[in-house]
Amino acid sequence: MSTPNTYIDLFAGCGGLSLGLHLSGWKGLFAIEKNKDAFSTLEHNLLNKKKHFEWPGWLPQTNHDINAILKSHSEELSRLKDQVDLVVGGPPCQGFSSAGKRYEQDERNKLIDSYIKFIRIVQPKMIFFENVRGFTQQFDRNKVKGRIYSQYVTMALKRKVIDCVGYKVHGQLINFAEYGVPQKRTRFILVGIRRDIAASVNPELFFNRLKNDREKFLVSKGLSITTSLNEAISDLLYSHGQTESPDSRGFKAGVYGVAGSGYQKYLRAQNSCEIPDSHRFPNHKELTIKRFQHILLNAPKNKTLSEDLKKAYGIKKHTVIPLAGNMPASTITTLPDDYLHYSEPRIFTVREYARIQSFKDWYEFKGKYTTGGKMRTQEVPRYSQIGNAIPPLFGEQVGRVLSQMID
């Protein structure tokens, strides 16, 4: 039996990319994630349930800040030089995202330099980097244009420095909806190959193979290249029945309906629970339900409500998008009340969010469901964990192609 390829996951979140790599046969060494809520989800599923990581003895099995690791464990990281096949992950995207304020001085943007420093110390054979579309766009400093961070990272990884030969890299934008994920989610993907081994493998090959192999991969799983929202979550409707929520007093949870698509069957495989994890319905007020019913009947789908409609419905939120069931969802964010269910007058449950992001149903989420106020800067509740994740279905395809290239 051959030894599986190994990787380290940086800024791992709740484990979306790690789950995809696990399903494609990779072996994790360890994962670095600062937030304890997101790490508890990753730990529960991929360390405790699946034993996916061969966690080193020198690193406590808990949440970590990457800068603390670089400072306290530089010697241990140096010993990993040329011993790791792949480092994956991208720094937090909030400072780059067009869905937010796009502030160039956001402290989280500085984590790009921490990422580059980690790569130069460990020097994996390959790199997989992901970030939002805004990562490729120039910041506006009024008269002076700011930095385009995708170019900055590309040049930094290419550069030869002391004891590091640098990488051949190639990056481009990819829409995950073209890879079976029921969501229009475009992200910047960059793949790098260390220059001393890049003579036989070009990083552009990754993107060609990924696109050419997708249909064969998806068909083998009983899936289609394009998956609609209805095909993703129609077995999780409120109308299928409710029961008491296992983890939230005073709330109802949904039960499974009949799996009506290949996508539903694929994500429900290996899950024997009758009540889907984190499928807690919101306790909407009667007035809210009536308002949502009217919106579903009269407002355009997959478009945010106009100012006139928001005024008519008494809605003060900036973004409210009623989604359509016959096509992939819009890019989901960390705010669940940005969207309305396509056929029921409510927002989505955490499990429906997870389905839209292609998490397997056996993958359980930990921590609070939601949070607010000042705690939004400290806590990462379940909706936010999922909204920040890389879809595992896309990650599985990434893992298969990278395995081919490294072999």
What are the boundaries of each domain within the chain?
6-224+391-406, 229-387
Task: Report pLDDT for 156.
Answer: 82
CATH number of 6-224+391-406: 3.40.50.150
Q: What is the mean pLDDT of residues 310-324?
A: 90
pLDDT at 135 over 90: no
pLDDT at 103 over 60: no
pLDDT at 105 over 70: no
Q: Supply 102's token pair.
A: 């796009």
pLDDT at 262 over 70: yes
Task: Report pLDDT for 92.
Answer: 78
The pLDDT tens digits for 137-176 are 553 443 433 457 778 888 888 877 767 788 899 989 999 9
pLDDT at 106 over 80: no
Residues across the chain = 407
Q: For strands 6-10 and 321-322, give the pairing.
A: unpaired
Task: Report pLDDT for 98.
Answer: 44
- With beta carbons less than 8 A apart as the criterion, state whether 174 and 211 touch: no
Q: For strands 321-322 and 339-340, give the pairing.
A: parallel
How high is the mean pLDDT of the chain?
A: 90
pLDDT at 272 over 90: no
Rounded to an integer, what distance in angstroms lies between the CA atom of residue 157 and that of residue 155?
6
Give pTM, 2 decimals: 0.92
Q: Supply 94's token pair.
A: 């909030």
Rounded to an integer, what distance in angstroms lies between the CA atom of residue 226 and that of residue 327?
8
Instruction: Report residue 97's pLDDT band, with 50, 70 and 90 as the boundaries.
Output: very low
Instruction: Report residue 178's pLDDT band, with 50, 70 and 90 as the boundaries.
Output: very high
Rounded to an integer, what distance in angstroms lies between the CA atom of residue 55 and that of residue 29?
6
Per the listing, tokens 């308002």 go with 291
Task: Report pLDDT for 162.
Answer: 65
Q: Output the 3-class SS for the chain.
A: CCCCCEEEEECCCCCHHHHHHHHCCCEEEEEECCCHHHHHHHHHHHHHHCCCECCCCCCCCCCCCHHHHHHHCHHHHHCCCCCCCEEECCCCCCCCCCCCCCCCCCHHHHHHHHHHHHHHHHCCCEEEEEEEHHHHCCCEECCEECCCHHHHHHHHHHCCECCECCEEEEEEEEEHHHHCCCECCEEEEEEEEECCCCCCCCCHHHHHHHHHHHHHHHHHCCCCCCCCHHHHHHHHCHHHCEEECCCCCCCEEECCCCCCCHHHHHHHCCCCCCCCCCCECCCCCHHHHHHHHHHHHHCCCCCCCCHHHHHHHCCCCCCCEECCCCCCECCCCCCHHHEECCCCCCCCCHHHHHHHCCCCCCCCCCCCCCCCHHHHHCCCCHHHHHHCCCCHHHHHHHHHHHHHHHC
Q: What is the mean pLDDT of residues 230-257?
A: 97
- With beta carbons less than 8 A apart as the criterion, state whether 10 and 32 touch: yes
The pLDDT tens digits for 20-37 are 999 999 999 999 999 999
Q: For strands 6-10 and 86-88, give the pairing.
A: parallel
CATH number of 229-387: 3.90.120
CA dihedral 146, 149, 154, 159 (to 10 degrees): 60
Backbone angles phi, psi at 188, to 5 degrees: -85, 125
Helix 392-406 and helix 204-220: axis angle, to 10°? Answer: 120
Q: What is the mean pLDDT of residues 326-341?
A: 94
Rounded to an integer, what distance in angstroms lies between the CA atom of residue 338 and that of residue 317?
8
93 is catalytic: yes
Task: Report pLDDT for 109.
Answer: 58
Task: Report pLDDT for 211.
Answer: 97
Q: Supply 272's token pair.
A: 């024997």
More reliable by pLDDT, 172 or 235: 235
Rounded to an integer, what distance in angstroms lies between the CA atom of residue 342 and that of residue 205?
38
Q: Supply 291's token pair.
A: 């308002």
Task: Report pLDDT for 2.
Answer: 65
Rounded to an integer, what distance in angstroms lies between the CA atom of residue 147 and that of residue 390?
25
Side chain identity at 82, as an amino acid letter?
A: D
Q: Which of 195, 132, 191 is nearest to 401 (CA)?
A: 191
Half-sphere exposure of 332 (CA within 13 A, CB side): 35
More reliable by pLDDT, 131 or 47: 47
Instruction: Report residue 110's pLDDT band, with 50, 70 and 90 as the boundaries.
Output: confident
- Residues near 95 by Cβ (< 8 Å), separated by ≥ 6? 102, 103, 104, 106, 107, 108, 109
Catalytic entry in 14, 93, 164, 273: 93
Task: Report pLDDT for 229.
Answer: 98
Q: Supply 169's token pair.
A: 């890299």
The pLDDT tens digits for 334-378 are 999 999 999 999 999 999 999 999 999 999 999 999 987 777 777
